[in-house]
Amino acid sequence: MRILLVSDIHANLVALETVLAHAAPFDRIWCLGDVVGYGPEPNACIDRLRSFDLLCIAGNHDWAALGKLDLEEFNPDARRAAIWTRDQLTPANLEWLRALPERVPAQADRFTLVHGSPRYPIWEYVLTPAVARANFDFFDTPICLMGHTHVPVVYRFQDDDQTATADPLPEGLPLKLNPDRMMINPGSIGQPRDGDPRTAYALLELDALTLTHYRVDYAIAATQAKMEQFGLPPRLIARLSYGW
Protein backbone atom coordinates (compact mmCIF):
# COMPACT_ATOMS: atom_id res chain seq x y z
CA MET A 1 0.00 0.00 0.00
CA ARG A 2 1.39 3.33 -1.12
CA ILE A 3 0.08 6.47 0.58
CA LEU A 4 0.50 10.00 -0.73
CA LEU A 5 1.02 12.17 2.35
CA VAL A 6 0.17 15.86 1.89
CA SER A 7 -0.38 18.84 4.16
CA ASP A 8 -1.16 22.55 4.02
CA ILE A 9 -2.40 22.63 0.43
CA HIS A 10 -3.85 26.10 1.09
CA ALA A 11 -6.01 26.19 -2.04
CA ASN A 12 -2.97 26.01 -4.33
CA LEU A 13 -4.37 23.77 -7.09
CA VAL A 14 -1.36 24.20 -9.39
CA ALA A 15 0.98 22.83 -6.69
CA LEU A 16 -1.48 20.04 -5.82
CA GLU A 17 -1.80 18.90 -9.46
CA THR A 18 1.99 18.93 -9.80
CA VAL A 19 2.32 16.64 -6.79
CA LEU A 20 -0.51 14.32 -7.89
CA ALA A 21 1.26 13.79 -11.21
CA HIS A 22 4.72 13.44 -9.65
CA ALA A 23 3.61 10.95 -6.97
CA ALA A 24 1.47 8.65 -9.15
CA PRO A 25 0.73 5.82 -8.82
CA PHE A 26 -0.52 5.70 -5.22
CA ASP A 27 -3.40 3.92 -3.47
CA ARG A 28 -4.67 6.52 -1.06
CA ILE A 29 -4.15 10.12 0.12
CA TRP A 30 -3.66 11.14 3.74
CA CYS A 31 -4.06 14.90 4.17
CA LEU A 32 -2.97 16.68 7.36
CA GLY A 33 -5.27 19.72 7.15
CA ASP A 34 -5.34 23.31 5.87
CA VAL A 35 -6.80 22.31 2.51
CA VAL A 36 -8.01 25.92 2.15
CA GLY A 37 -6.97 29.44 3.21
CA TYR A 38 -4.42 31.81 1.56
CA GLY A 39 -4.68 30.37 -1.97
CA PRO A 40 -6.97 31.05 -4.96
CA GLU A 41 -8.76 27.71 -5.60
CA PRO A 42 -10.39 26.34 -2.45
CA ASN A 43 -13.33 24.53 -4.10
CA ALA A 44 -11.22 22.95 -6.84
CA CYS A 45 -8.69 21.67 -4.29
CA ILE A 46 -11.41 20.05 -2.16
CA ASP A 47 -13.09 18.53 -5.22
CA ARG A 48 -9.80 17.14 -6.51
CA LEU A 49 -8.85 15.62 -3.14
CA ARG A 50 -12.28 14.07 -2.77
CA SER A 51 -11.93 12.30 -6.12
CA PHE A 52 -9.36 10.00 -4.42
CA ASP A 53 -9.56 7.46 -1.62
CA LEU A 54 -8.90 10.01 1.11
CA LEU A 55 -8.27 10.35 4.83
CA CYS A 56 -8.26 14.04 5.82
CA ILE A 57 -8.21 15.93 9.10
CA ALA A 58 -9.00 19.56 9.95
CA GLY A 59 -6.53 22.45 10.16
CA ASN A 60 -6.88 25.91 11.67
CA HIS A 61 -7.49 27.53 8.26
CA ASP A 62 -10.24 25.00 7.51
CA TRP A 63 -11.88 25.97 10.79
CA ALA A 64 -11.39 29.67 10.04
CA ALA A 65 -13.25 29.25 6.75
CA LEU A 66 -16.10 27.66 8.72
CA GLY A 67 -16.22 30.47 11.27
CA LYS A 68 -15.21 27.93 13.96
CA LEU A 69 -12.24 30.10 14.97
CA ASP A 70 -12.08 33.71 16.04
CA LEU A 71 -10.43 35.50 13.11
CA GLU A 72 -8.86 37.98 15.55
CA GLU A 73 -6.27 35.26 16.12
CA PHE A 74 -5.14 35.66 12.50
CA ASN A 75 -2.89 38.38 11.11
CA PRO A 76 -4.69 40.88 8.80
CA ASP A 77 -3.65 39.17 5.53
CA ALA A 78 -4.64 35.70 6.75
CA ARG A 79 -7.95 37.15 8.00
CA ARG A 80 -8.70 38.76 4.64
CA ALA A 81 -7.92 35.49 2.86
CA ALA A 82 -10.06 33.51 5.31
CA ILE A 83 -13.07 35.76 4.73
CA TRP A 84 -12.58 35.57 0.95
CA THR A 85 -12.32 31.76 1.21
CA ARG A 86 -15.52 31.54 3.25
CA ASP A 87 -17.37 33.52 0.58
CA GLN A 88 -16.11 31.24 -2.20
CA LEU A 89 -16.84 27.84 -0.69
CA THR A 90 -19.88 25.95 -1.92
CA PRO A 91 -22.38 24.67 0.67
CA ALA A 92 -21.30 21.09 -0.09
CA ASN A 93 -17.64 21.89 0.50
CA LEU A 94 -18.40 23.80 3.71
CA GLU A 95 -20.29 20.71 4.88
CA TRP A 96 -17.34 18.50 3.98
CA LEU A 97 -14.91 20.74 5.90
CA ARG A 98 -17.22 20.80 8.90
CA ALA A 99 -17.16 17.00 9.11
CA LEU A 100 -13.34 16.70 9.20
CA PRO A 101 -12.00 15.18 12.45
CA GLU A 102 -9.25 16.85 14.52
CA ARG A 103 -7.23 13.71 14.97
CA VAL A 104 -7.36 10.14 13.66
CA PRO A 105 -5.50 6.89 14.11
CA ALA A 106 -4.55 5.22 10.83
CA GLN A 107 -3.35 1.86 9.58
CA ALA A 108 -3.96 -0.43 12.53
CA ASP A 109 -3.05 2.29 15.02
CA ARG A 110 0.48 2.62 13.72
CA PHE A 111 0.01 6.32 12.92
CA THR A 112 -1.62 9.31 14.59
CA LEU A 113 -2.61 12.12 12.20
CA VAL A 114 -2.99 15.70 13.44
CA HIS A 115 -2.64 19.15 11.93
CA GLY A 116 -0.72 21.02 14.65
CA SER A 117 0.33 18.69 17.46
CA PRO A 118 -1.08 15.70 19.34
CA ARG A 119 -1.47 17.93 22.41
CA TYR A 120 -3.37 20.74 20.66
CA PRO A 121 -4.34 19.35 17.23
CA ILE A 122 -5.59 22.55 15.63
CA TRP A 123 -3.23 25.24 16.91
CA GLU A 124 0.09 24.18 18.41
CA TYR A 125 3.24 24.68 16.28
CA VAL A 126 5.90 22.01 16.80
CA LEU A 127 8.98 24.03 15.89
CA THR A 128 11.55 22.84 18.45
CA PRO A 129 12.77 19.52 19.91
CA ALA A 130 11.51 20.68 23.34
CA VAL A 131 7.94 21.13 22.09
CA ALA A 132 8.19 17.83 20.21
CA ARG A 133 9.45 16.10 23.37
CA ALA A 134 6.43 17.31 25.36
CA ASN A 135 4.12 16.06 22.61
CA PHE A 136 5.53 12.52 22.56
CA ASP A 137 3.47 12.04 25.76
CA PHE A 138 0.23 12.84 23.92
CA PHE A 139 0.01 9.96 21.43
CA ASP A 140 0.33 6.18 21.79
CA THR A 141 1.21 5.10 18.26
CA PRO A 142 4.81 4.67 17.05
CA ILE A 143 4.49 7.53 14.53
CA CYS A 144 2.72 10.90 14.54
CA LEU A 145 2.24 12.71 11.22
CA MET A 146 1.61 16.46 11.42
CA GLY A 147 1.61 19.68 9.40
CA HIS A 148 0.91 23.33 10.33
CA THR A 149 4.48 24.73 10.43
CA HIS A 150 4.99 24.18 6.67
CA VAL A 151 8.54 22.99 7.47
CA PRO A 152 9.58 19.40 6.68
CA VAL A 153 11.22 17.72 9.69
CA VAL A 154 11.54 14.47 11.62
CA TYR A 155 11.67 14.46 15.43
CA ARG A 156 12.90 11.25 17.08
CA PHE A 157 12.31 10.22 20.66
CA GLN A 158 15.57 9.19 22.37
CA ASP A 159 14.95 6.35 24.81
CA ASP A 160 18.28 6.70 26.62
CA ASP A 161 17.89 10.26 27.89
CA GLN A 162 14.15 10.79 27.18
CA THR A 163 14.74 13.79 24.90
CA ALA A 164 13.79 14.50 21.28
CA THR A 165 16.09 15.32 18.36
CA ALA A 166 15.24 17.16 15.14
CA ASP A 167 16.55 16.44 11.65
CA PRO A 168 15.62 17.75 8.21
CA LEU A 169 13.77 15.19 6.09
CA PRO A 170 16.20 13.81 3.52
CA GLU A 171 15.01 14.42 -0.06
CA GLY A 172 14.36 11.32 -2.15
CA LEU A 173 15.83 8.95 0.44
CA PRO A 174 13.54 6.39 2.11
CA LEU A 175 13.40 6.94 5.87
CA LYS A 176 12.83 3.76 7.93
CA LEU A 177 9.80 4.17 10.19
CA ASN A 178 11.00 1.74 12.85
CA PRO A 179 12.11 1.12 15.51
CA ASP A 180 12.19 4.77 16.75
CA ARG A 181 9.11 6.74 17.78
CA MET A 182 8.87 9.76 15.48
CA MET A 183 6.91 12.89 14.73
CA ILE A 184 7.14 13.74 11.03
CA ASN A 185 6.09 16.79 9.03
CA PRO A 186 6.09 16.26 5.23
CA GLY A 187 6.15 20.04 4.52
CA SER A 188 3.55 22.12 2.71
CA ILE A 189 2.06 21.62 -0.74
CA GLY A 190 0.79 25.15 -1.23
CA GLN A 191 2.94 27.54 0.84
CA PRO A 192 6.38 26.19 1.83
CA ARG A 193 8.09 28.15 4.65
CA ASP A 194 11.58 26.66 4.89
CA GLY A 195 13.15 29.01 2.34
CA ASP A 196 12.62 26.52 -0.51
CA PRO A 197 9.66 27.54 -2.72
CA ARG A 198 9.25 24.10 -4.30
CA THR A 199 6.15 22.15 -3.31
CA ALA A 200 6.73 19.45 -0.65
CA TYR A 201 5.16 16.06 0.06
CA ALA A 202 5.98 12.48 1.11
CA LEU A 203 5.19 8.96 0.00
CA LEU A 204 4.58 6.29 2.60
CA GLU A 205 5.22 2.65 1.72
CA LEU A 206 3.24 0.80 4.35
CA ASP A 207 4.60 -2.66 3.52
CA ALA A 208 8.24 -1.60 3.65
CA LEU A 209 7.44 0.95 6.42
CA THR A 210 9.34 3.79 4.80
CA LEU A 211 8.60 7.46 4.17
CA THR A 212 10.25 9.35 1.31
CA HIS A 213 10.18 13.13 1.11
CA TYR A 214 10.08 14.96 -2.23
CA ARG A 215 10.41 18.58 -3.42
CA VAL A 216 9.14 19.50 -6.86
CA ASP A 217 9.18 22.70 -8.91
CA TYR A 218 5.72 23.94 -9.87
CA ALA A 219 4.35 26.90 -11.84
CA ILE A 220 4.38 29.39 -8.94
CA ALA A 221 3.57 32.29 -11.29
CA ALA A 222 0.34 30.58 -12.37
CA THR A 223 -0.91 30.44 -8.75
CA GLN A 224 0.24 34.02 -8.16
CA ALA A 225 -1.63 35.25 -11.25
CA LYS A 226 -4.87 33.70 -9.97
CA MET A 227 -4.33 35.29 -6.54
CA GLU A 228 -3.84 38.69 -8.18
CA GLN A 229 -6.97 38.18 -10.26
CA PHE A 230 -8.99 37.59 -7.07
CA GLY A 231 -7.40 40.52 -5.20
CA LEU A 232 -5.77 38.40 -2.51
CA PRO A 233 -3.19 40.19 -0.29
CA PRO A 234 0.11 41.06 -2.11
CA ARG A 235 2.25 39.75 0.75
CA LEU A 236 0.64 36.30 0.44
CA ILE A 237 1.30 36.37 -3.33
CA ALA A 238 4.95 37.43 -2.95
CA ARG A 239 5.88 34.87 -0.28
CA LEU A 240 5.28 31.94 -2.63
CA SER A 241 8.34 33.07 -4.64
CA TYR A 242 10.60 32.82 -1.60
CA GLY A 243 9.17 29.79 0.18
CA TRP A 244 8.51 31.81 3.29
DSSP-assigned states of every residue in 132-191: HHHHGGG--SSEEE--SS---EEEEEETTTTEEEEEPPPBTSPEE--SS-EEEE---SS-
Instruction: Using CB positions, name the residue nearest to Zn ion.
Output: 34
Tell me which amino acid residue 40 is. P
The nearest distance, CB 105 to Zn ion, in angstroms, is 22
**Smallest distance from Zn ion to CB 10, Å:** 6
Stretch that binds Zn ion, among 13-21, 29-37, 74-82, 195-203 (CB under 5 A): 29-37
Among 5, 8, 39, 189, binds Zn ion (CB under 5 A): 8
Is the Cβ of residue 20 or residue 31 nearer to Zn ion in the bound state? 31
| The dihedral formed by the CA atoms of 193, 195, 199 and 204, expressed in degrees to the nearest 10 | -80
Q: Are 197 and 241 in contact (CB under 8 A)?
A: yes
Q: Backbone phi, then psi, for 136, in 5-degree steps?
A: -60, -20
Closest distance to Zn ion from the beta carbon of 64 (Å): 10
Tell me which H or E stretch contains 15: helix 13-23
Residue 177 or 240: the one with the smaller Cβ distance to Zn ion is: 240
C-alpha 52/C-alpha 242 separation (Å) is 30
Q: How far is the CB of 8 from Zn ion (least distance, A)?
A: 4
| Number of residues engaging Zn ion in binding (CB under 5 A) | 2
Q: Which of 14, 34, 97, 177 binds Zn ion (CB under 5 A)?
A: 34
Contact range with Zn ion by CB under 5 A, out of 11-19, 34-42, 213-221, 236-244 = 34-42
Query: Closest separation between CB of residue 223 and Zn ion, Å?
Result: 15
Closer residue to Zn ion, CB minimum distance, 70 or 207:
70
- Binding residues for Zn ion restricted to 88-127, rule: CB under 5 A: none
Stretch of residues binding Zn ion (CB under 5 A), selected from 2-10, 63-71, 82-90, 136-144:
2-10
Distance, in Å, from the CA atom of 157 to the CA atom of 166, rounded to the nearest integer, reads 9
Question: What is the nearest approach in angstroms of Zn ion to the Cβ of residue 58?
Answer: 11
CB of 87 to Zn ion, least distance (A): 20
- Residue 41 in the binding site for Zn ion (CB under 5 A): no
Provide the b/e sequence for 48-86 (b: ≥16 CB within 10 Å): bbeeeeebbbbbbbbbbbbeebeeeebeebbebbbebbb
3-state DSSP helix/strand/coil % of the chain, to nearest 5: 35, 25, 45
Q: Is 53 or 72 the residue whose CB approaches Zn ion more closely?
A: 72
- Interacting residues with Zn ion (CB under 5 A): 8, 34
